[in-house]
Amino acid sequence: MGRVTRGARNIAWIESYCRIPEGRFVGAPVQLRPWQKRIIRGVYNADTRRAIISFGRKNAKTSLSAFLLLLHLVGPEAKANSQLYSTALSREQAAILFGLAAKIVRLSPALNAVVGIRDTAKQIYCDELGTLYRALSAEASTAYGLSPVFVVHDELGQVKGPRSELYEALETASGAQEQPLSIIISTQAPTDGDLLSILIDDAKRGTDPRTKLFMYSAPVQLDPFSRKAMRAANPAFGDFLNAQEVVEQAAAAKRMPAREAAYRNLVLNQRVTQHSPFIPAPVWLRAAGRTLEEVFAASPVTIGLDLSARNDLTALVYVARDEVEQRWHVRGEFFVPAVGIDDRASRDRVPYDLWRDRGYLTATPGASVQYEYVARRLVELAEQYDVSAIAFDRWRIDVLQAELARLGVELPLCKHGQGYADMAPALDVVEGLLLNGEVVHEANPVLTWCAANAIAVRDPAGNRKLDKSKSTGRIDGIVAMVMALGRAVTAAEQGALTVDGDYEVLSL
């Protein structure tokens, strides 16, 4: 007989000692399905540092996590005196994995004889081996000072934005271990800018061969309401996942479009936000490309300016039309205060510091955005290009005007409201340009983040505007882009980039 592989050994241990914790067959010995065995072999028959396992809800993700956890606590993967952890966004979510693992132990005579459980502290331990498991949540005060050999990141797709302090703390803490292993098990995150999406995309590129990806997701070209799509994202479909229940969820989503996004994300495991963004991600990605300096140098340039509160993000977006290819070229620039940038990165869950270092935004000195820098940049652009209009929101424009007056310049400042009257036609213009492939942008990550966050709301008459209160993150860059393109296209259609009485020149 050939040598038993590590994966086969672990499969045999789970089926020998673990019990089904819940449901119709509670207490029965576990019988792993072929797809579950493929995942286990893929993780353990290779030099794996991190495994990402993703499929639709109700496919026993958490039960699989509990089996692997016990494998490392008291099974053949256990290392003496080791620390094991699971992470979740909330205490309630953290308690789910702990609860399932505790049930498995209590239902298994062999495990119950050697494993102890502390329900209040959410801990499971083996005194003989010195191993200890703890369930942690992002609400916990700290995760620093730990040294995990095994971590399960449960439902990491719930993390909004590209950062999680708890995830980073545990991943960096594993450095002291010889062979640490992290299991990320979750349905997909809604947007490309979320942490799980970034990790999945990196795994698809094969950047780190020690990261293994096991993905079950319905291809976007499939009919989302077909059984083929359901099966693609749900390996347990028709087995312990009730097929009829999934079919009924699909039917409800088809009848009620408001439920389709949630169905696609949670059931089909597609990267779809449950709040419909103004610019769908595929449309924005199709517009990414290289903007040409000669287009800005040869054509009238229109600028959109969205001033921030002093300690937030200020956006400056400028556009020009390539008359040969008949496309609008879009560039974005951003300003944030230098002081407190790490705190704001943590609050907004985006890497402001990294974006600053890579030149995607300017950090002005102090704890608030210094409008002097914004004013000077506007002057530079006006000297470099034929700037015909600068569309601005009235909020805090007096502060910028004071800075421009101090510099002794005159610029064509054009008022652009944020209400339905001004934004509705501008949004229609931008939507049409994007859908018709008439926009090219440089995939600036700050502007892309703003695009993913931008939500449009309607009034009773059907007019739209962008609503910052409905968005999960900053949308300043898209507000500035909409003002710039809306102004530029409207003026171009009228045969001039300025209209009498519609803008004011700052006079000194």
| pLDDT tens, residue by residue, 282-325 | 889 899 999 999 999 999 999 999 887 656 789 999 999 999 99
Same domain? 158 vs 116:
yes
Distance, CA of 295 to CA of 300 (rounded, Å): 9
> In which domain, by residue range, is 326 found?
281-505
Confidence of residue 455 (pLDDT cuts 50, 70, 90): confident
The pLDDT value recorded for residue 398 is 78
pLDDT confidence tier of residue 459, bands split at 50, 70 and 90:
confident
CB 49 within 8 A of CB 182: yes
Examine the fold and report which residue of 215, 232, 249 is the final residue of a domain before the chain moves on: 215
DSSP letter string, 422-457: HHHHHHHHHHHHHHTT-EEE---HHHHHHHHH--EE
pLDDT on residue 297: 94
Residue 508: its pLDDT value, please? Answer: 29
C-beta of residue 39 within 8 angstroms of C-beta of residue 53: yes
In this prediction, residue 349 carries a pLDDT of: 75
Residues 159 and 265 in one domain: no
Segment 73-83 mean pLDDT: 96
Tell me the pairing of strands 301-306 and 387-392.
parallel
| Domain end marker among 190, 215, 240 | 215
Give the pLDDT confidence of 211-233 residue by residue, as tens digits: 999 999 999 889 999 999 999 99
- Give me the CATH number covering residue 332: 3.30.420.240
The answer to whether the beta carbons of residues 10 and 30 sit under 8 Å apart is no
Regarding whether 226 and 208 lie in a shared domain, the answer is no
List all residues 6 or more positions away from 34 whose beta carbon is below 8 Å from its beta carbon. none
Q: What's the pTM?
A: 0.63
Assigned domain for 16 exists:
yes
Both 210 and 233 in one domain: the answer is no
Q: Are residues 181 and 289 in the same domain?
A: no
pLDDT at residue number 498? 42
Residues 476-494: pLDDT tens digits?
Answer: 999 999 999 999 998 877 7
Shared domain for 358 and 481, answered yes or no, is: yes
What's 168's domain CATH number? 3.40.50.300
Q: Does the pLDDT at position 442 exceed 60?
A: yes
Residues 355 and 426 reside in one and the same domain? yes
Tell me if 276 is assigned to some domain: no
Question: Do residues 332 and 438 both lie within one domain?
Answer: yes
Residue range 144-167: mean pLDDT, rounded: 87
Task: Evaluate if residue 497 carries a pLDDT over 50.
Answer: no
